[in-house]
């Protein structure tokens, strides 16, 4: 503050002004910035150019094997569905060991192996991905119910349970 902000003759005391305590975060925002440890994410990532190359037995087996191995290392995949051109999954990672962006990058890199083996040319994945931090059990069940019906909405099967490229690696409780 400058002296021109005070009326003529008023005493300006910068030390008094600087000693005032201001809250670091407004109290109404404390619930918004809660920590979720370990966090549970709903992740979606797509093939490059939305090429329909994922819904195969080879890709599905590699996907399951990858996440079964990672389950003991702090990366847990719950329910998932593999569509022809994108993947939806629920992912819980140990935030003390892993960062979400780096982890999804490694997942994509590993999932490129069966695509290369079947002759799919690179690039395989779009650069980005969609993530949503789940904050309640209702959010988890709503998201899963929506994504499990993807194959029905796309006209690939009549009933959601008939889609062969979906499942659960480990049970994740919210």
pLDDT at 30: 46
The CB-side HSE value for 7 (13 A sphere, CA atoms) comes to: 1
Characterize the bridge pairing of strands 86-93 and 75-82.
antiparallel
Rounded to whole angstroms, the Cα distance separating 117 from 124 reads 12
Contact 51, 120 (CB under 8 A): yes
Tokens coding 135: 């904050």
Q: What is the pLDDT of residue 38?
A: 81
Least confident of 51-60, 96-105, 130-139, 146-155: 130-139
Contact predicate 81/88, CB 8 Å: yes
* Residue 29 neighbours by CB distance under 10 Å: 9
CA 147-95-40 angle, to 5 degrees, is 20
Domain 40-168 has CATH 3.30.70.1290: yes
Structural tokens at position 84: 């022809």
Q: Answer whether residue 56 shows pLDDT above 50.
A: yes
Instruction: Say what the pLDDT of residue 37 is.
Output: 60
Residues 6+ apart with CB under 8 A from 26: none
User: Cα(74)–Cα(122) distance, rounded to whole angstroms?
Assistant: 29
Average pLDDT, the chain: 85
How far apart are the C-alpha atoms of 88 and 79, rounded to whole Å? 8
Could you tell me the pTM of the whole model? 0.77
């Amino acid at each position: 503050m400058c002296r021109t902000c005070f009326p003529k003759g008023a005493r300006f005391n910068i030390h008094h002004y600087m000693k005032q305590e201001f809250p670091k975060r407004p109290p109404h925002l404390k619930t918004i910035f809660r920590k979720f440890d370990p966090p549970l994410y709903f992740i979606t990532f797509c093939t490059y150019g939305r090429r329909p190359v994922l819904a195969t037995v080879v890709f599905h087996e590699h996907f399951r094997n990858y996440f079964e191995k990672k389950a003991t290392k702090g990366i847990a995949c719950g329910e998932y569905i593999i569509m022809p051109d994108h993947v939806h999954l629920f992912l819980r990672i140990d935030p003390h060991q892993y960062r979400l962006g780096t982890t999804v990058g490694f997942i994509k890199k590993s999932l490129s192996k069966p695509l290369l083996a079947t002759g799919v040319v690179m690039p395989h994945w779009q650069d980005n991905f969609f993530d949503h931090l789940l904050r309640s059990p209702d959010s988890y069940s709503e998201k899963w119910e929506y994504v499990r019906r993807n194959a029905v909405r796309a006209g690939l099967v009549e009933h959601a349970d008939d889609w062969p490229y979906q499942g659960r690696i480990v049970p994740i409780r919210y």
